[in-house]
Amino acid sequence: MRKFFIYLLLLLLIGGGALAYFAYQMFYGPAVAEDFTVRITPRTDYELVVNKVKKNSKYNWAFEFYAKYLDLESALRTGTFLIEKDMSVMTIVRTLKYGESKTLRLTINNARTPEALARKIASKSHISEEDMLKTLRDSALIAELGFDSAEAMFSIFLPNTYEVMCDITPRDLVLKLKSESDKYWSSSKRQEQLKRIGFTPFEVMTMASIVHEETNAQSEMARIAGVYVNRLKKDMLLQADPTVKYALNDPTVKRILKRHLKIDSPYNTYIHKGLPPTPIAMPDLVAIEAVLNYEEHNYLYFCARPEFDGKHNFAETLSEHEKNAKAYHDALDEWLRKKKQEKK
C-alpha cells in the first residue's frame, strides 16, 4: 500500500509537470508558422479578428482566454497589424491591443510604362509584379476610373511617397493613387491654373510628360512648356522628339533621324497635330508645375546647345532655329569624329 501511494504521488508530480509545461507552451511558445496581417477598420467585427488569428495560428483556446482576460474586444484599434512567425499567443494579443499599425512608405516615380511601374511597386512592397501589372491593365478598372487605356490611367498618377497599409491590394493601391490625384487637381489653386491655360488635368499631365522627357534642366522646363503652348495656339505640329522615341518604343535613341520621323503612330507629333493620345511617361512634379506655370514668350523652337550642357537655345523664327540646329549638329559630328579617332 505504501508503494502504491509513492507511485501515485510520482504520477501526479509527472502529470502536473507535463500539464504545466503544456500550459506554458500554449501561452508563451511559438504559435505562428508564417507571417500574416490583421487589418481592422471601424466596421470590422471582433469575431472576424478572432477567426483570422485562429485560422493562422495554434493554441486557439489560449488565444481566446488571454484576449478575454485583456478585454481585447473593447480595445480594438483600426490599422493593419503584422503578426510575425514564432509569435506567442500572449504577444499576438498584446500586438493587437497595444502594437503599432504596420504601414508602408511607397515611393512612386520615373516610370515610362505600366510594366515599369509594376516593377517599381513590386520591388518596394509585397505586391507581385504580375499582380500589379494585371491590375494596371484591368480593362474594367480602367473604364471605372474614366480612362480608355492602361497608359492613360497609370500616367495620371502623381509621383510621390505614399503611406499605405502593408497588405494593400493592387486594386486598392490604384484607387488610392487616383484619389490622391483627384485631391491634387481639385484644389482652388489648381483649378485657377487650369482655367488660365485652358487645359484639363489629363492634358497637363500629357504635356508635362513630354517636358519631363525633353530636359533634365529644371530651370528650362517652364520655357519649354511655353514653346509647346505657343505651337498649339498657332495650330503647329509639336514636333517633340520624346514622342517619336515613345512611338519607336526606344527611349535610348540618341539622335532622331529623318526615317524616325516617318513612323506611323498617333504618338508621332511630327505628323499628327496636337498632344499625343496619352502621357508618354509619369512626369515629375517639377514638370507638372512647369506646365501649370509655363513661361509666356514668343519662342516657337528650341534646340540642344552645342556645349552639350543639357540645356537648349530658343528661337522665335525658323531661320534662327536652323542656325542653332546647325551649330549643334556640327558640334555633335565633331565630337563623334574625335571619338572615332580615339578608337583607332
* Per-residue pLDDT tens digits for 203-246: 999 999 999 999 989 999 999 999 999 999 999 999 999 999 99
Comparing 290 with 109, the larger pLDDT belongs to 290
Gap between the terminal Cα atoms of the chain: 108
Query: What pLDDT was estimated at residue 344?
Result: 62
3-state secondary structure the chain: CHHHHHHHHHHHHHHHHHHHHHHHHHHHCCCECCCEEEEECCCCCHHHHHHHHHHCECCHHHHHHHHHHCCHHHHCCCEEEEECCCCCHHHHHHHHHHCCCCEEEEEECCCCCHHHHHHHHHHHCCCCHHHHHHHHCCHHHHHHCCCCCHHHHHCCCCCEEEEEECCCCHHHHHHHHHHHHHHHHHCHHHHHHHHHHCCCHHHHHHHHHHHHHHCCCHHHHHHHHHHHHHHHHCCCCCCCHHHHHHHHCCCCCCCCCCCHHHCCCCCCCCCCCCCCCCCCCCCCHHHHHHHHCCCCCCCCEEEECCCCCCCEEEECCHHHHHHHHHHHHHHHHHHHHHHHHHHC
Beta-carbon contacts of residue 108 (< 8 Å; ≥ 6 apart): 117, 120, 121, 157, 159, 160, 161, 162, 177, 282
Q: φ, ψ for residue 57 (rounded to 5)?
A: -150, 175
Whether the pLDDT of residue 4 is over 70: the answer is no
How confident is the model over 196-202, as a mean pLDDT?
94
Q: How far apart are CA 53 and CA 169, in angstroms?
A: 20
Query: What pLDDT was estimated at residue 22?
Result: 63
How confident is the model over 68-80, as a mean pLDDT?
85
Give me the chain's average pLDDT, please: 87
Query: What pLDDT was estimated at residue 23?
Result: 66
Query: What pLDDT was estimated at residue 13?
Result: 47
Query: What pLDDT was estimated at residue 338?
Result: 83
Query: What pLDDT was estimated at residue 340?
Result: 78
Query: What pLDDT was estimated at residue 335?
Result: 85
* Per-residue pLDDT tens digits for 135-150: 999 999 999 999 999 9
* Per-residue pLDDT tens digits for 9-59: 444 444 455 555 566 688 788 889 888 888 887 788 899 999 999 999 988
Nine-digit cell string for 256: 532622331
